[in-house]
């Protein structure tokens, strides 16, 4: 079978390898159908993901069909359409005991710390697979994992009906967060540098769109919120300037949600944090978000029309990465197809 493997920074190949087998009693063999290309895959390719190890079969946004199951598997059946929950954890450390396995001390992420789904077949423990409605297109099903990232950020921000939410960045994560925030009944502002992305956000429910490089951005937001500021700021851009802005414009008792992995320091004063008693939280992967997201996809409450902008075959993986890098303004979500 074919697999896409990153041997090291900027060294990506298509390899022929043996098809995995069901060995453990709870193993499930899955035929891959679609894999989304995530920014973290690009970072692994370039050697800028601080958590990845090499060589690595990438891909964690994965959907496929169950081909074979172990003798003790009860959660899925042969023929089921499934999506991958890409985390495994110890279940015993402090984070796991607190119900936060996504930050387990021994966390292993499919496609980052261990080989992922950008291959014809893969095996996983049944607990990492979720069944989706078979009438869903593969292109819809594969969006479950990125949607859980947006759902997690909204959950970490404790977004409630009537809250004002600012999402910085109209890329894939930002749009996913937008969808989930609107379902919570929030009033959502979004910023970006790219006008086409802002218009796409508007089309998908953003109440107010704003140019990120507007010199009057802070004043405009304060005016629109009648001087209160933003209740929940979700930073999906993840650079020091956006993090600093989030703290600056958060309302009293507000929350700033950070999704970034940069190690570049931000210039944050203590005064607004203490004065406004802000809550600053990280958001990583997801905590029990799959059931809700899948339910929303299954009943079509959650729809992502025009979200997928390009599809490539596995043999075109290098062309896909090249296209994404050279045309960021034309890409929302690109997929690799396996047939």
What is the pLDDT confidence band of residue 286, given thresholds at 50, 70 and 90?
very high
CATH of domain 2-143+307-337: 3.90.180.10
pLDDT at 263 over 90: no
> What is the structure's pLDDT at 186?
98
> What is the structure's pLDDT at 305?
85
> What is the structure's pLDDT at 62?
98
The per-residue pLDDT for range 37-93, each reduced to its tens digit, is 999 999 999 998 888 889 999 999 999 999 999 999 999 999 999 999 999 999 999
* Mean pLDDT value of segment 226-243: 97
With H, G, I as helix, E, B as strand and everything else as coil, classify residue 294. Answer: helix
What is the pLDDT confidence band of residue 217, given thresholds at 50, 70 and 90?
very high
Q: What are phi and psi of 170, to 5 degrees?
A: -105, 25
* pLDDT > 70 fraction of the chain, expressed in percent and rounded: 100
What is the pLDDT confidence band of residue 251, given thresholds at 50, 70 and 90?
very high
pTM of the model: 0.95
Contact between 152 and 285 under an 8 Å Cβ cutoff? The reply is yes
Contact between 142 and 223 under an 8 Å Cβ cutoff? The reply is no
Estimate the crossing angle of helix 144-156 against helix 172-183, to 10 degrees. 60
The pairing of strands 11-16 and 81-84 is unpaired
The encoded tokens of residue 237 equal 């851009």
- Give ranges for CATH 3.40.50.720 in the chain: 149-282
The Cα–Cα gap between 48 and 57 comes to 16
pLDDT at 226 over 90: yes
- Give ranges for CATH 3.90.180.10 in the chain: 2-143+307-337
pLDDT at 244 over 90: yes
pLDDT at 321 over 90: yes
Closest CA to 166 of 109, 236, 105, 219: 236
What is the pLDDT confidence band of residue 303, given thresholds at 50, 70 and 90?
confident
- Domain 149-282 top-level CATH class: alpha beta
Q: Distance between alpha carbon 18 and the CA centroid of its chain, in Å?
A: 30
């Amino acid at each position: 079978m074919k697999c896409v493997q990153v041997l090291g920074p900027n060294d990506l190949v298509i390899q022929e390898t043996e098809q995995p087998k069901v060995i453990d009693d709870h193993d499930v063999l899955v035929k891959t159908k679609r894999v989304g290309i995530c920014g973290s895959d690009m970072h692994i390719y370039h050697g800028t993901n601080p958590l990845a190890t090499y060589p690595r079969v990438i891909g964690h946004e994965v959907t496929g069909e169950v081909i074979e199951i172990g003798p003790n598997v009860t959660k899925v059946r042969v023929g089921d359409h499934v999506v991958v929950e890409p985390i495994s954890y110890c279940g015993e450390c402090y984070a796991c005991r607190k119900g936060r396995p996504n930050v387990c001390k021994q966390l292993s992420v499919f496609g980052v710390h261990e080989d992922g789904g950008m291959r014809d077949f893969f095996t996983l423990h049944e607990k990492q697979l979720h069944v989706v409605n078979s009438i869903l297109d593969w292109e819809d099903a594969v969006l479950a994992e990125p949607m859980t990232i947006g759902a997690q950020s909204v959950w970490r921000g404790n977004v409630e009906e009537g809250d004002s939410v600012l999402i910085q960045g109209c890329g894939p994560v930002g749009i996913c967060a937008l969808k989930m925030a609107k379902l919570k009944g929030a009033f959502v502002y979004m910023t970006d540098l790219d006008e086409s992305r802002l218009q796409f956000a508007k089309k998908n429910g953003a109440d107010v769109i704003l140019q990120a490089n507007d010199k009057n951005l802070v004043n405009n937001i304060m005016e629109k919120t009648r001087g209160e500021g933003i209740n929940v700021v979700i930073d999906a851009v993840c650079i020091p300037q956006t993090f600093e802005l989030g703290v600056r414009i958060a309302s009293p008792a507000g929350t700033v949600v950070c999704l970034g992995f940069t190690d570049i320091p931000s210039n944050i004063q203590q005064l607004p944090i203490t004065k406004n008693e802000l809550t600053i939280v990280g958001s990583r992967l997801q905590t029990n978000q799959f059931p809700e997201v899948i339910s929303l996809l299954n009943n079509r409450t959650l729809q992502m029309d025009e979200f997928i902008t390009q599809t490539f075959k596995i043999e075109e993986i290098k062309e896909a990465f090249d296209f994404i890098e050279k045309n960021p303004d034309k890409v929302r979500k690109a997929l690799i197809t396996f047939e």
